[in-house]
Every structure is written in C-alpha cells, then in structure tokens.
C-alpha cells in the first residue's frame, strides 16, 4: 500500500472508530462493575492530589509491575500525611 494512501486511511479509520471507544468502556463496565471507578483516570482526571505529589510513570503492565517494589519502598520510607 502506498504511503500517501496510508497517511489518508489511518486517520480516517481512527475517526470512524472514535465513537466505539465509549461504547467499549460501557460494555466492559457492565461486565466488570469495578472497571467504571477508573474511567476518569483513562481520560486524565485524577481528582485531588496532595500538596507535593510524586509521579511514577509506567507505559506497560510489565513496567508497572517492575515499578511496584520501588513504589512500596518509597511509601514505606515516606511519612504519612493527613489530607
């Protein structure tokens, strides 16, 4: 497939698929009720944060699992603050 066709076709397919994303979230929420609690996070809404938050970023599940011991150690050494 020529590159110019790919550059036109890919964005078009993304725009056509865009309405299906909320539908997929809705269907999965009916299957797993706990899934709906984290939907705002998928769109970047985090709620209230402490005064000095520490962000840890992981792209994949493997990275998140690899970072878990680091987060646990950090939480163990950080004094708890009351919000």
- Digitized pLDDT (tens) for each residue of the chain, 83 residues in all: 788 788 889 999 999 999 998 898 889 989 988 888 887 887 778 778 777 777 888 999 899 999 999 989 988 888 776 54
Closest by CA to 71, choosing from 83, 47, 53, is: 53
Quote the pLDDT of residue 81. Answer: 60
Closest by CA to 56, choosing from 35, 72, 80, 40, is: 72
Quote the pLDDT of residue 4. Answer: 79
Q: How far apart are CA 60 and CA 66, in angstroms?
A: 10
């Amino acid at each position: 497939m020529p590159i110019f066709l790919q550059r036109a076709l890919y964005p078009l397919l993304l725009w056509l698929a865009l309405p299906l994303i909320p539908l997929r979230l809705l269907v999965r929420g009916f299957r797993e009720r706990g899934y709906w609690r984290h939907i705002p996070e998928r769109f970047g809404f985090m709620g209230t944060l402490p005064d000095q938050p520490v962000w840890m970023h992981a792209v994949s599940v493997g990275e998140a699992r690899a970072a878990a011991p680091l987060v646990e150690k950090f939480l163990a050494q950080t004094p708890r603050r009351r919000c």
